[in-house]
Amino acid sequence: MAEKKIFKPVAESEITKAIIESFARELAEYIKTDVIIVGGGPSGLMAGKVIAEAGYKVLLIEKNNYLGGGFWLGGFMMNKATFRSPTEKELDELGISYQRAGDLLLTDAVYAVSKLITKSIEAGVKVLNLVWFEDVVLRENNRLAGVVVNWTAVNYLPSGINCVDPIALESNLVIDASGHDAVVAKKLEERGLVKVPGCGGMWVEESEDLVVERTGEVHPGLILTGMAVSSFYALPRMGPTFGAMLKSGKKAGEIALERLKSLPR
């Protein structure tokens, strides 16, 4: 008697077909969205969660194959994440437990990132990973109206064979959550529309407050969050503490919601 198989039979072609059809259907649905977030670190994920929970379409693009940015590693590849009060509120909202370490809040970085990613995806954020931000879509009066993207792998091809045309994705708002690189803002800088001087040296106490305070819309259609704020305003860098990332992302999401309310759906 033949041994009973555990799994139902399937052809390789069925697997390929399911992947292609599902991906193409979702990509077509998100070619035009309410908000595009560039960068899947903690601030981008937090902003996406806030906006998606309000019922808006959010597409997050990430150049790596993973989300979370530097949140996974803490500092010096020691995967413990620290936060300063009053980040208890955000950690509790995300269901992230933590310990007290003097005046700091401390948790396992891998655990914290996993929670944040899960909460964002469950809220409705759609993710395109391994996708490279290449340029901006501009409309009247240089209003930002979307992004131009390509596969990350194309960016690493030798110059002689990387002439692969990108595609454009439209949105009402773009959030630059790309960290120190501030890639969206720098594309506007190339066109003489803004200045991006880069961040200053480390000063945690000053940096975290300033990043949250300065989070906001810096050009029509463009909101900055996280370390992109530091690069835009030449603020001190903050090092391996993540409270401002969560609070800045939350604020960026709230600002986006206020802007979206004034636009036709």
Six-digit token string for 258: 């206020």
Nearest to 187 by CA among 216, 236, 147, 153: 147
Q: In CATH, what number does 34-76+110-261 get?
A: 3.50.50.60
In order along its 265 residues, the chain shows pLDDT tens digits of: 667 889 999 999 999 999 999 999 999 999 999 999 999 999 999 999 999 999 999 999 999 999 999 999 888 999 999 999 999 999 999 999 999 999 899 999 999 999 999 999 999 999 999 999 999 999 999 999 999 999 999 988 988 888 889 999 999 999 999 999 999 999 999 999 999 999 999 999 999 999 999 999 999 999 999 999 999 999 999 888 999 999 999 999 999 999 999 887 6
In what helix (H) or strand (E) does residue 133 lie, and over which residues does it extend?
strand 131-138
- What is the structure's pLDDT at 162? 80
**CA 174 to chain centroid:** 11
Q: What global pTM score does this model have? A: 0.96
Q: Give the SS3 label for residue 201.
A: strand
For 187-194, which contacts have Cβ atoms below 8 Å and span 24 or more sequence positions? 187/135, 187/136, 188/136, 188/142, 188/144, 188/219, 188/222, 191/142, 193/142, 193/219, 194/218, 194/219, 194/232
Domain positions in the chain: 34-76+110-261
